[in-house]
Amino acid sequence: MSTNSPQPPAPDAWQPPHVPAPPAPSGPAAPEPPRKNWFARHKILTGLLALVLFGAIASAVNGGGSTPAATSSPAAGLASAEDAGTAPSEQPKEETKQEAPSEAKMGQKVRDGQFEFTVTKVKSGVKSVGDEYVNQKAQGQYVLVSITVSNIGDKAQMLADSSQKVRDAKGREFSTDTAAAIYIKDNQVFINEINPGNSVKGTLVFDMPKGTAPASIELHDSPFSGGVTVKLS
């Protein structure tokens, strides 16, 4: 029994060695070249659309089409009226002249604060006040101003003769002589507290130069009030 053994290859049957194929590249694929957009590819149509759009915008700006008219704001109306020199919805008015109030005179009732005053009499050229036993002489002359004072307020108020002033024609101001007013009989207006609704009468005494006449008197309900003026001449 014979055994088959492998036969060596013939010398002329040579084969080239096996060479492996190179590996495929592992990096990202190269990007494709970008395609042009629609406007770039249709230049003529793009130009026509631009002309149509420009015409529509120009028509809207110039008030064409159905665009509603803008309403003016109150601020704009005010500014226009100010430019025109007049206030809005106002017509120039004629100036009305107001006459200055006339000065109060003797016998008229005047008011200042809580007091109502009435000057009833003025006497000048008085040398002294008092009687033959107790009296006081003037430096120049005494001017006696008789008044009535009523409290028209709702609380008691102190009346002081020192709050009252007299002026002459030159505008000089004269104060009362309280020490001399004491010598006037039944004088109730040099220092007195008056209750609401009550009235007092008396005489204000002013020591003025001889030959000087009082032009007006300024009456006050207190040293801090505005006062009211009564003409004496």
Q: What are the structural domain ranges in the chain?
A: 104-231
63-74: average pLDDT: 47
Which CATH fold would you assign to the domain 104-231?
Immunoglobulin-like (2.60.40)
Give the residue among 221, 4, 231 at the shortest CA–CA distance from 111: 221
Kindly write down the DSSP assignment for every residue of 146-180, as one continuous string: EEEEEE-SSS-EEEEGGG-EEEETT--EEEB-HHH
* pTM of the predicted structure, to 2 decimals: 0.57
pLDDT for 175 beyond 50: yes
Q: For the chain, what is the mean pLDDT?
A: 78
Least confident of 20-29, 112-121, 224-233: 20-29
| Percent of the chain residues topping a pLDDT of 70 | 56
151: β partners: 115
Kindly write down the DSSP assignment for every residue of 68-114, as one continuous string: PPPPPPHHHHHHHHHHHTS-TT----PPPP-PPPPPEETT-EEEETT
